[in-house]
A and B are shown apart, each in its own frame.
Chain A
Amino acid sequence: DIVMTQSPDSLAVSLGERATINCKSSQSVLYSSNNKNYLAWYQQKPGQPPNLLISWASTRESGVPDRFSGSGSGTDFTLTISSLQAEDVAVYYCQQYFSTPYTFGQGTKLEIK
């Protein structure tokens, strides 16, 4: 199984400041034949299901604010929120879909400082 490890486990950022969450996979999730990273980011607010923010490591889903961005390749990935808003308080998960079993990171809890 591919192990996904996020850092930090929790993060407190001031409103309007940048938030950065890291995700590391135990093996590469870059498929060489199409040069795509099989890595997604989800946002989960209390009492709600996860919501897909970013797929293919850096492709924002429709309707996701452009303050959210994803970067990285191979085994190291980053989710950046450029200017934190109050509604961004949530737990964020990375997930690899390079191979089954699909696996998720342990989650990063983002709060307002």
Chain B
Amino acid sequence: QLQLQESGPGLVKPSETLSLTCTVSGGSISSSSYYWGWIRQPPGKGLEWIGSIYYSGSTYYNPSLKSRVTISVDTSKNQFSLKLSSVTAADTAVYYCGRFLEWLSPLDVWGQGTTVNVSS
């Protein structure tokens, strides 16, 4: 059964870069048609798609975050990663990684999420 697990620092200082990794187990990140992505949820609020990546490295970002976001993939480690630069308190959220079965499809598998607080 496919499982995703987010990892990374739980505390990031303002203006610094948030870095998270999603490790995929129980399946290959290189499986054709699958896309992988990041979603975040600020405390007590709704869900925001950050961006997605295909195993080939093709990326798609939310325009609202595009200038600060980089998503990358490491097929040898079955992982993909998120970097969000110049963070502020507004970036405090639970960050989820997830799988899309194909382009333009819902997230059918989610990680448990990791909480990132932006604070000095």
Contact present for B112 and A55 (CB under 8 Å): no
A35 to chain B, nearest CB (A): 15
Contact present for B96 and A49 (CB under 8 Å): yes
Q: List the one stretch of B15-23, B46-54, B81-89 in contact with chain A.
A: B46-54
Does B106 make an interface contact (CB < 8 A)?
yes
B63 closest partner in A (C-beta): A101
Number of residue pairs A-B, CB distance < 8 angstroms: 51
Main secondary structure of the interface of A (DSSP, over half): loop
Give complex CA distance A112, B104 in Å: 34
Contact flag A101-B110 (CB < 8 Å), given A38-B104, A55-B105: no
Does A72 make an interface contact (CB < 8 A)?
no
Contact present for A49 and B106 (CB under 8 Å): no
Contact present for A93 and B47 (CB under 8 Å): yes
Contact present for B64 and A101 (CB under 8 Å): yes
B: number of interface residues (CB 8 Å):
21
B98 closest partner in A (C-beta): A49
A: number of interface residues (CB 8 Å):
24
Contact present for A100 and B60 (CB under 8 Å): yes
Give complex CA distance A50, B99 in Å: 12
Tell me which of B100, B104, B112 has the highest count of chain A C-beta atoms within 10 A of its own C-beta: B104
B105 to chain A, nearest CB (A): 6
Given contacts A49-B96, A50-B47, A107-B47, 19 further A-B contacts (CB under 8 A): A38-B104, A40-B106, A42-B106, A49-B98, A49-B110, A50-B110, A51-B110, A52-B107, A55-B105, A61-B108, A99-B104, A100-B60, A100-B62, A101-B62, A103-B49, A104-B46, A104-B49, A105-B46, A106-B46
A residues touching B (Cβ–Cβ < 8 Å)? 1, 38, 40, 42, 48-52, 55, 61, 93, 95, 97-107
